[in-house]
Amino acid sequence: MPLTLANRQRTHKIKVGVLREIATALLTELAGPEASLEINLVSATQMAKVNQAFLQHEGPTDVITFDYREADPGAPFQGELFICPAVAVTQAREFGTEWRSELVRYVIHGILHLLGHDDLEPAARRKMKAVEGRWLRTISRRFALSKL
C-alpha cells in the first residue's frame, strides 16, 4: 500500500512518523491493501492557493480531497489530501478539542470522501460526521494523538 506523507509547512511541529502510522492503519482498515494515498500538510497560504485554484473558494480550509479514480471508478483506491494544520489549530480552539485530534479527523474525513461519503446535504453530513467520529475514537484508543 503506497502512502506518501509530505510535511510542507513549518508552523506546527508534527511527528510525521506517528501520523504515517495512523494514516497507514486507517488506510488499511478503510480502503484495503491496494489503496494509494498522498497526504500533503501545507501552510494556510498554500492551502488558500489550492482552494482558490481548484474549488474557486477564498482562504484556507481544513482538508481538500482529490480522487484520482474519477475517470475509472473501478480502479483501486487512489487519492491525495491537502491538510492545513493551521486550520486544525483554529478549529480545535473553536470546538474545544486538541489540534492534533483535529488533524487526524481531517485524514479520516478525506479518506471517507475517497470512499464515496458526501457531506453536501445535511443528512449525508450527519452520517459522515458519525462515521468520522467513530473512527476518531477508534484511532484515539490505538494511538496517543498527543504525541503527534
How do residues 56-111 score in pLDDT, each as one tens digit? 999 999 999 999 987 777 788 899 999 999 999 999 999 999 999 999 999 999 99
User: What confidence score (pLDDT) does residue 33 get?
Assistant: 84
CATH topology of domain 3-147: Collagenase (Catalytic Domain) (3.40.390)
Per the structure block, which three cell numbers stand in for 16? 510525521
Helix 85-95 × helix 99-114 angle, to 10°: 110
Kindly provide the residue ranges of all beta strands, DSSP E only, lying in the chain, ordered along the sequence: 3-7, 36-41, 63-67, 78-83
The DSSP code sequence of 11-45 is SS---HHHHHHHHHHHHHHHH-TT-EEEEEE--HH
User: Tens digits of per-residue pLDDT, 1-52?
Assistant: 689 999 999 999 999 999 999 999 999 999 988 899 999 999 999 999 999 9
pLDDT above 90: residue 138: yes
Return d(Cα 132, Cα 19) in angstroms, integer.
17
Strands 63-67 and 78-83: antiparallel
Contacts of 80 (CB under 8 A, 6+ apart): 37, 38, 39, 40, 65, 66, 68
CA distance 17 to 5: 9
For the chain, give every domain's residue range: 3-147
Asked if residue 59 lies in contact with residue 90, where contact means CB atoms within 8 angstroms, the answer is no
Neighbours of 42 (CB within 10 A): 23
Q: E strand or H helix at 77, and its extent?
A: none
